[in-house]
């Protein structure tokens, strides 16, 4: 049975990797829907994700594509897994504190399926006590994390903060569902 992946994309330069992630997940036979923050749309347009996923892209809590349902609740219920990639310090902080002021955060708070966050940010931001505290809170709340890799960052720094490669994230998703199928 085809599994449903909701990819929540928040606004950092690593958004370009999220487009490749949708492609890889779709190639791995997942049904992928994408939701974007306003900031994410500054880096890549929703059309890129629509083309790669062959599904509508969700960007506004109040733009209901089907008037018979509430999109952020339906999408939370639809997903077998939610992946937030890139997960910026902003979206991590909002989710850790229960702030729901956009389509992504309202959907994340309504989710009952597993939620994975793939942080991507400057090495100093990733190491900031507030970000560490928020990550620890989300881990305690049951979220899983795909650790960022080390390397050259867009800001010119070298260190931990790069969004994990789309191929690796896709393999983690595949492995998760194989393991889940084995425990049923």
**Angle of the 15-27 helix axis to the 46-53 helix axis, nearest 10:** 10
- Active-site residue (options: 8, 113, 143, 155): 155
Cβ 53 vs Cβ 33: under 8 Å: yes
Dist. CA 102–CA 85, nearest whole Å: 16
Cβ 115 vs Cβ 139: under 8 Å: no
Dist. CA 102–CA 115, nearest whole Å: 17
Q: Encode burial over 57-84: b for 16+ CB neighbours within 10 A, e otherwise.
A: bbbebeeeeeeeeebbebbbeebbbbbb
Q: Is 113 a catalytic residue?
A: no
Task: List the one residue out of 174, 168, 163 whose CA is nearest residue 17.
Answer: 163
Give the residue numbers annotated as catalytic, written as ranges: 155
């Amino acid at each position: 049975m085809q599994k449903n992946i909701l990819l929540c994309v928040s606004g950092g330069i690593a958004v370009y990797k999220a487009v490749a992630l949708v492609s890889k997940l779709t190639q791995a036979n997942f049904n992928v829907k994408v939701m974007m923050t306003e900031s994410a749309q500054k880096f890549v347009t929703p059309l890129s994700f629509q083309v790669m996923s062959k599904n509508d892209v969700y960007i506004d809590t109040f733009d209901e594509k089907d008037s018979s349902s509430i999109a952020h609740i339906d999408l939370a219920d639809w997903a077998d897994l939610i992946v937030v990639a890139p997960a910026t310090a902003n979206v991590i902080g909002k989710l850790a504190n229960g702030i729901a002021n956009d389509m992504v955060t309202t959907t994340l708070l309504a989710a009952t399926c597993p939620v994975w966050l793939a942080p991507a940010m400057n090495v100093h931001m990733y190491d900031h006590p507030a970000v560490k505290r928020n990550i620890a809170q989300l881990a305690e709340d049951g979220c899983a994390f795909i650790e960022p890799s080390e390397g050259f960052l867009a800001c010119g720094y070298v260190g931990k903060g790069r969004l994990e490669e789309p191929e690796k994230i896709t393999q983690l998703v595949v492995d998760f569902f194989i393991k889940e199928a084995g425990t049923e």
